[in-house]
Structure 1
Amino acid sequence: MHVLFVCTGNVCRSVIAERLTRALADEHGLYELTAESAGTRALVGFGVEPLAAQTITGLGGNASGFRSRRLKPELVDRADLVLAMTEQIRDDIVAHVPGAHPRTFTLLQAHRIAKVSGARTVDEMDRARNDLALVGRENIADPVGLSPQKYCEIGDQIAETLAPLLLWMCMPVGRNTDERGRPRLVVLPGGRQDHPPVVDETRIDRQA
């Protein structure tokens, strides 16, 4: 499965998601899981924002060798799943590439649909998207210009939704689920150790 992550500038949120996906694929031997990213208003050729690079490294990813790029239809066309960081970005993608609607979600939306409905494929998520009640907005805020702590919080939010979603979709049935068949949240290697993980009956969270 090839995943495209989209934010605005392609130097922070979408890069974090792309590089964590690559780390996740390497850690779990998911060699068919690939990822790239783009921005709707990206300045082409910029590297990862420094605090975003620190966040990627702290979460077990590799931030090196990245250059930002502008979103183009061909990037959307070759993706099996398109995950936007905000509802507005998701809607902009679909407006420019209408055929992408069935496979385009916000990251938080896709996580919610998979968690609530048990959908394991993009087609199943698309069929379930209008059957589930939505409470609140499903946006991941842009931390550019904010504090290092905010970058940590955004990095954790991305990791804590992205990891269980992709493992749920890409790993064989019966693996990475709890006793009730729901996806577990895993901790990527190399995560921050400022506080011990908080454990409840359904997931393991990494706290910034």
Structure 2
Amino acid sequence: MDTSAPVRILTVCTGNICRSPVAERLLQAGLDQVVPGGFQVSSAGTRALVGEPMQPISADIVRTFGGNPDGFAARQLTPRILRGVDLVLTMTSGHRGEVLQLDASLLKRTFTIREFARMLNVLDQRAAENNSQPAASAQEAASDDESRLAANAALWRGLPARAAGVRHLSLPADPAENDIVDPYRRSPEVYREMEDQLAPAIVSILRHARLNAPVSPDAAQL
């Protein structure tokens, strides 16, 4: 494996036109700002409306948060798409089960997006309480872009195991809190509910990425 290859993240929902595209485009936009070239985010659906664009309200949500919905086309989730993925973030627990039916080897790398975000919040809180530097920031500055990408990839490829280690500290009171509501063919209010559930999870993931981003030589000299 190329140690400096981008971290591959896959988001999954049902039709791949409402929820997972929003997660895909907003995660990609945010992660590109943290470590340019360090991540490759894509999405797929368990029963995708193949070739369809993102739903208009979902596209509006992406634009509102600074992402770009242009050029999106829904894809059907397949074993081939799952091959080589470093992290799978599903919109519901049911989607997680469907991913694992296709590729059981992803058991330790597949989470619902809200579950994963809560785990990262626990890791970040622990780091703050221990007054310790985030893992990657504690490293010496990467000597070049390739080294920085390699450090970022190593961090994120080990992240699922670290996150799973605090799962017991991030369990929701209601298992339904692991899921993102499906707004397809429903009112704009349900899309807003989707946004209210999804946005905090994305913010938590981006915050963790920012706190743990490998330090560039220029930044280290500031």
TM-score range, shorter chain: 0.7 to 0.9
Contact map agreement 2:32 2:39 (CA 8 A) in 1: no
Residue of structure 2 equivalent to 1:3: 9
Aligned length: 175
Residues 1:16 and 2:22 are matched in the alignment: yes
**Shift of residue 170, structure 1, vs aligned partner:** 5.7
Give unmatched runs, 5+ long, in structure 1: 176-208
Q: TM-score, normalised by structure 1?
A: 0.75
Identity within the alignment, %: 34
User: For 1:153-168, what aligned pairs fall within 5 Å after superposition?
Assistant: 153-168=193-208
**Shift of residue 174, structure 1, vs aligned partner:** 10
**Shift of residue 95, structure 1, vs aligned partner:** 2.1
Residue of structure 2 equivalent to 1:34: 40
Contact map agreement 2:118 2:170 (CA 8 A) in 1: no
Q: 2:84 aligns with which of 70, 78, 81?
A: 78
Residue of structure 1 equivalent to 2:121: 115
Residues 1:101 and 2:107 are matched in the alignment: yes
User: For 1:37-76, what aligned pairs fall within 5 Å after superposition?
Assistant: 37-76=43-82
Going from structure 1 to structure 2, the CA distance change for 1:27 and 1:133 (only over 3 Å counts) comes to: closer
Going from structure 1 to structure 2, the CA distance change for 1:149 and 1:131 (only over 3 Å counts) comes to: closer
Between the two structures, name the one with larger relative contact order (CA 8 Å, sep ≥ 6). Answer: 2
Residue of structure 1 equivalent to 2:150: none
Counterpart Cα distance in 2 of 1:70 and 1:111: 25
Q: TM-score, normalised by structure 2?
A: 0.71
**Shift of residue 15, structure 1, vs aligned partner:** 0.1
Give the 3-state SS of the residue equivalent to 2:41 in structure 1.
strand
More helix by share: 2
Going from structure 1 to structure 2, the CA distance change for 1:24 and 1:169 (only over 3 Å counts) comes to: closer
Going from structure 1 to structure 2, the CA distance change for 1:163 and 1:99 (only over 3 Å counts) comes to: same
The residue type paired with residue 197 of structure 2 is: Q
Q: 1:148 aligns with which of 188, 198, 202?
A: 188
**Shift of residue 146, structure 1, vs aligned partner:** 2.0
Q: Deviations over 1:141-188 (max 9, x none)?
A: 10112222332331242121112224314643699xxxxxxxxxxxxx
Contact map agreement 2:21 2:43 (CA 8 A) in 1: yes
The residue type paired with residue 167 of structure 2 is: R
Give the 3-state SS of the residue equivalent to 1:102 in structure 2.
helix
Give unmatched runs, 5+ long, in structure 2: 1-6, 127-155, 216-222
**Shift of residue 134, structure 1, vs aligned partner:** 3.7
Going from structure 1 to structure 2, the CA distance change for 1:57 and 1:173 (only over 3 Å counts) comes to: closer
Contact map agreement 2:89 2:111 (CA 8 A) in 1: yes
